[in-house]
Amino acid sequence: MNLPVTNKQGGPPGKSGKWGKHVIEEARGRAFVYFCVLLMVVTIFSIVFFIASRGLTPFISQGVSVKDMLFGLKWKPEGNPPLFGALPFLFGSFVTSVLAALIAAPLGFCASIFMTEIMPKFGRTALQPAIELLAGIPSVVYGFVGLSVVVPFLRDVFPGQGIGILAGAIVLSVMILPTVTTIGTDALRSLPSGLKEGSYALGATRWQTIYRLILPTALPSLLTGVVLGIARAFGEALAVQMVIGNAPHIPRSLFESATTLTSIITLEMGNTTSGSLHNNALWSLALILLLMTFLFVFVVRMLERRVKR
């Protein structure tokens, strides 16, 4: 009984056998969606492959040691001998993004609590659109505002030129605030409502409920938002580059010019010839950025697994 249903009755004319119109149509549609997915998979593998192949060249065939790059303090790619110490950039990237997260996290948590626990209606109609708008503002605009508002302000209030890690961190903190807030809000909204009611029933105040019950329960999700925020800050290029000063050393204070991985790449990639050691060393920095992305995704996945449990 494995004949296909033939159209003796009720079936439309003009179709015959197994290869009816719908079979071909289905095959064509499937081919299209498989193609799209395949393209995406190929793209990501080629991103990793191409950047890794260029970024590994200095270590494999041009005599730069991984240790020198990761822990070296001097970046003199055109010097004699050339030095490729990327530690100042790593330091700059880590410190700015972590500092940005430290500023953004408490603000974001408060905003999330405001939107879920305190004034949900006002939060939904005013604060949420505001935060979505913040997310939509392009990074060069943040850079521009940072350069023309934050930097002069810091220059007036604190010693130094105003440019530096703190300026970068402040600009970044506004940029990642939407990430932290949105994920935090989703997490708080998805908490079971019985949780709160039980606590209120015991006579706890709202703050006690938030502090003792809601925050600990939602902590892994809130951390997910923070990690995603750090990831975004770590990879952000232009806004930081515009306000951080770009001096290739480890700064002694928050108000001294510094450099991040992204900003050094932005600045130097265009001025080096493809294939030169200097150029390849920049690809190594890009590879570090790429590996950091994997690390962030991994950490986020770990946190999400904890949420599910």
Stretch that binds other proteins, among 49-57, 77-85, 161-169, 184-192 (CB under 8 A): 49-57
How many residues touch other proteins (CB under 8 A)?
101
Q: Which of 84, 89, 234, 255 binds other proteins (CB under 8 A)?
A: 234
Give me Rg for the CA atoms of the chain.
26
Question: Which of 250, 66, 84 has the alpha carbon at shortest distance from 164?
Answer: 250
Write down the H helix ranges in 61-192: 66-71, 87-113, 120-122, 128-136, 139-145, 151-157, 165-189
| Nearer of residues 73 and 140 to other proteins, judged by Cβ | 140
| Nearer of residues 193 and 271 to other proteins, judged by Cβ | 271
Spatial distance between the Cα atoms of 96 and 140, rounded to a whole number of angstroms: 17
- Decide if residue 30 touches other proteins (CB under 8 A): yes
- Decide if residue 54 touches other proteins (CB under 8 A): yes
Residue 90: CB atoms within 10 Å: 19
Spatial distance between the Cα atoms of 291 and 298, rounded to a whole number of angstroms: 11
- Decide if residue 210 touches other proteins (CB under 8 A): yes
| Nearer of residues 47 and 102 to other proteins, judged by Cβ | 47
Q: Which of 192, 194, 216, 270 binds other proteins (CB under 8 A)?
A: 270
- Decide if residue 118 touches other proteins (CB under 8 A): yes
From residue 149, give the alpha-carbon distance in Å to each of 71, 97, 99, 144, 170: 34, 20, 19, 8, 11
Q: What is the footprint of other proteins within residues 149-188 (CB under 8 A)? A: 149, 174, 177
Q: Which of 59, 94, 144, 153 binds other proteins (CB under 8 A)?
A: 144
CB of 287 to other proteins, least distance (A): 9
Q: Which of 60, 73, 126, 302 binds other proteins (CB under 8 A)?
A: 126
Contact present, 124 and 115 (Cβ < 8 Å)? yes
- Decide if residue 190 touches other proteins (CB under 8 A): no
| Nearer of residues 73 and 265 to other proteins, judged by Cβ | 265
Question: Which of 58, 85, 80, 54 has the alpha carbon at shortest distance from 69?
Answer: 85
